[in-house]
Amino acid sequence: MHLVTLLLIAASFSLIEANSIRVNNTGTENLVFILQALGHPPSNGTLIEAGNYTEFLVLNEWEGSFYTYPEECLDHPCDYPVTKISVAFEKYMFGGFYDFLIVDLNKGFNVPASIRSVSRPDCDVISCDANLLEICSEQDQVVDEAGEVVACQTSVLNYQDFKERCPNARVDGGDVDLGVCASMDYELTFG
Ligand SMILES: *[C@@H]1O[C@H](CO)[C@@H](O)[C@H](O)[C@H]1NC(C)=O
Ligand SMILES: *[C@@H]1O[C@H](CO)[C@@H](O)[C@H](O)[C@H]1NC(C)=O
Ligand SMILES: *[C@@H]1O[C@H](CO)[C@@H](O)[C@H](O)[C@H]1NC(C)=O
């Protein structure tokens, strides 16, 4: 997107106070959805049934992450590496206000995920659409009590494979892949 266009969009949105977020569970399993503001503990999980969604608002300048666990983690919280969508809304940069969007596989992967602006289809979609569990070597697998592989840790062994299959996701701290947009409404998908 042309920088002048971005600046105009940023200027026209600077008085609006919240971002609307819609989260679709596009998979076939129910998911526990969690949000975590930077520097705060994670929220209690919200169940999103397969094929359904949840919607909420976050304030401008909100910074943090969104992620999911399987339904089995609703009653006894799970803690293992997951696909995170990390955002920083309304950061002042390049002379305007921009949102920074990351699909973060820094620790690991559990489900495909994406983020896009609803009203600005010209902004990039940032995503990891591949199911990286399918290429997870045994030593990086996270297995649940039933013996099912629920996540894959990111390691030096699978970094290259993750990056090939999810080129605009951030696979380690050195990656600069992220989306820059100026929007008030985002749609996320998990599953
Ligand atoms: C999210 O769900 C809404 C309504 O259910 C649908 O219109 C939209 O296309 C979905 N988006 C994606 C990326 O699945
Ligand atoms: C989160 O769960 C705990 C334990 O069940 C409960 O005490 C607390 O009120 C919940 N917090 C919110 C914001 O719902
Ligand atoms: C789907 O999600 C909407 C919004 O969160 C909720 O009102 C509705 O009850 C859900 N439907 C089912 C079948 O869970």
Query: pLDDT tens across 35-49, in order?
Result: 999 999 999 999 999
Q: CA 167, 169, 173, 176 torsion: positive or negative?
A: positive
Of all atoms in ligand 3, which is nearest to the CA of residue 53? 2
Ligand 3 neighbour 54 (Cβ under 6 A): yes
Ligand 1 centroid to residue 24 C-alpha, Å: 6
pLDDT(33) > 70:
yes
Q: CA 138, 144, 149, 152 torsion: positive or negative?
A: negative
H-run or E-run covering 162:
helix 159-165
The pTM of the full predicted model, rounded to 2 decimals, is 0.88
pLDDT(13) > 80:
no
Strand partners, 100: 88, 180
Q: Which CATH number fits domain 3-190: 2.60.110.10, 3.90.1150.10, 2.60.40.10, 2.60.120.200?
A: 2.60.110.10
Of all atoms in ligand 1, which is nearest to the CA of residue 189? 13
Residue 40's pLDDT is 96
What average pLDDT score do residues 127-154 get? 97
> Mean pLDDT for the chain?
91
- pLDDT band with cut points at 50, 70 and 90 for residue 73: very high
* Tokens read off for 52: 């359904």
Query: pLDDT tens across 143-175, in order?
Result: 999 999 999 999 999 999 999 999 999 998 888
- pLDDT band with cut points at 50, 70 and 90 for residue 16: low
The residue extents of the domains of the chain are 3-190
pLDDT(121) > 70:
yes
Ligand 3 centroid to residue 47 C-alpha, Å: 10
